[in-house]
Structure formats: structure tokens, C-alpha cells
Structure 1
């Protein structure tokens, strides 16, 4: 899952939301260096990614792609799922996307627990209003191109948006089928967390 989905699934507790971003930047074992609820947010991020990557619905969708793209299918799916979450936002959240986004941007901008790379990413999210921007296909194209530039080995992500667009209806159906199952998995996981705000 990409940023909008991670924040949506972590909504309702500030430390889970901070962990949703830190999850991309904190690697290795969680050893109690941060508060328990922050580490639970990072753990939730990892569980979301693991559930998504291993789910049969998602793995079946990856088979749509040409062989040259399949190694990067997880990245492609993460990005396009944010596009579909944006497009279907009102089906999954009572708040408007604009209100939700503003709350997340404010939380991130005032938080002292972000590592410098995570803070840089938070600044990018707010500067370009990326949650809202994912309604536009150009944002999907740009996101994949930039990820491709950060990967040291040769990759096809500069053209991955074209590959995704070939299967736009199928990927949208995949998202709408899979996302409620992911929400249920997250709800079950969060029940095991003892959180207090």
C-alpha cells in the first residue's frame, strides 16, 4: 500500500498515523526505542504491506502484467491503489478527502518523532497535496517514475503507468474487491493494540 491507504487504515490514533509514515523509513527489529504506540504504528504498516503482497486477489492481478513488469508489480499496485482509493474515497470514509488530508498534513508538520527522511516525505506530501492529487493519472505516472529513479537497478517504472492503464478496469475491480478485506484485517490487528490518545 502507498501513503494515502496507510494513513487511511491508521486513522483514529495519532501515533499509528506517525507510524504509518515511519514504516517506510524504520527498518529492522522494533526494540522499544520509541513509544509502544509508535512502534505499533510501524508494525501495522508492515502488516498491511505483508497482507497486501501475499493476498491471492492481488497476486492474481499481477499476472495481468507483461513479464517485464511483474517483478515490480507490487510497487505498481501500491501506487495505483492510492489512485483508486482517492476516486472511491466517499465509499470508505465519512470525512471528505480534503478534511482528512488537512488533518494528516497538520499532524505530520508538527510532529517531533519523524526521522529527517520521513520529515522530508511529509513536506513533499503537503507541498504537492499528494493525497488529493492522486485523482489525476499524471500523479500515478510521476510517482512511478520517481520511484524508478530511486531504484539502483534497471527497471521499467518509467513506463509502468502505461502498463497499468491497459488494465485499468481490472485493477479497479481488484482494488474494490481487496480493500474491504484489508480493512477487516487491519481492524482485527488493531484490536490487539492497547492504545490511548
Structure 2
């Protein structure tokens, strides 16, 4: 799961939502000094990732992507699941999409002072550029994958990612629809 899914799964709590957003951005000692609720959100993020990685339907989808995209198959599915979550937002989203994203932006901006300074640029960029909107279109998805290329050791493995999303549209959608209720059940264990 990527940003949109993590934020959606923890929508009912500002601290959990912030922790879910930063779960991949913080390390060791940084986590230990976060406020308790945000630390729990980081833990929740990591449990969501483990459940997703171990899910048999996700593993099956990733095996089908590996021939073309190698070790980046799980990265592709994580990012793509946000697009497919948006496509199913009326059923799976916790609030109308615009209301949801605006509230998430406000919560992240409000928590900025509690977060390590080195991740402030990610928070600021997300809020300023309204990044969550990129998950709402095929063009936005292409932009997300394009932004990843400079950070990858083998960027050529993302060649044809748009075709893979198109060719396996039904597989991605089916896998998300099977997985998301399991993730919602996990998220519900964090409710007060």
C-alpha cells in the first residue's frame, strides 16, 4: 500500500494518520521520540505493509509482474493499489474524496512540528502540491512512476509499467478488493 491507502485506513485518528503517512520515512531513534499516537501510526503502517506483502493474492499478482519488472513488482503493486483504491473510493473510502484529502493535508501540516525536520520537505510537498490527486488518473500514475526513476538502481525495470497496469487492470482491481477488507480489519484493531 502507498500513501493514499495508509491515510485512508487510519482516517479516524489524526495521530494514526500522521504516523501511517511517515511510516516509511522515519527510522529507529526518530520513532522513539514521536508522540505516542504517531508512534502507533508508524507501527500500524508497518503491520499493514507486512500483511500486504504476505497476502497470497498480492503475492500472486506480484509473481505475474516479476517477469517484466523484476524486484520492483511489489513497488509497482503498492503504488498501483492507491489508484485502484481511488477507482473504488465510493465503496472503500472513509469520506468523500475531496473532504478526505483536505482533512489529511490539514492533519499532516498540523503535526509537522512533532516530526523530524528531515521529513518536513515531504510533508510540505504533499500539502503544497496536493499530491494525493495523482492517484486519481492514469496520467498521475505515470507521473508517480516517473518520479521514482532517479532513485532506482535499475530504472529500466519500470519500462512498460503503464502497459502492465492496463493489461492487468482486472487483476489489480480484484486483488485490491480482496485485500482491502483484511487491511480494514487490521486498522480497526487500532481504534480506541
Same fold (TM over 0.5): yes
CA contact (8 A) 1:62 1:70 kept: no
Instruction: Please list every run of 5 or more consecutive structure 2 residues that lacks an aligned counterpart in the other structure.
Output: none
- Answering whether residue 163 of structure 2 is matched by residue 154 of structure 1, we say no
Distance 1:31 1:130, change over 3 A: closer
Corresponding residue for residue 72 of structure 2: 72
CA contact (8 A) 2:30 2:116 kept: no
- RMSD of aligned C-alpha atoms? 1.9
Greater helix share, 1 or 2?
Answer: 2
**How big is each residue's C-alpha offset from its partner over 1:132-174, in whole Å with a ceiling of 9 and x where there is no partner?**
33121011111112122212x1132253232222211111111
Q: CA deviation at 1:99?
A: 0.4
Distance 1:17 1:160, change over 3 A: same
Q: How many residues align?
A: 190
Corresponding residue for residue 123 of structure 2: 122
In the alignment, the residues of structure 2 paired with residue 106 and residue 121 of structure 1 have an alpha-carbon distance, to the nearest angstrom, of 14
**How big is each residue's C-alpha offset from its partner over 1:95-150, in whole Å with a ceiling of 9 and x where there is no partner?**
21000100111111222122234322222222332223312101111111212221
TM-score where L is the length of structure 2: 0.89
Corresponding residue for residue 42 of structure 2: 42
Larger CA deviation: 130-139 vs 94-103: 130-139
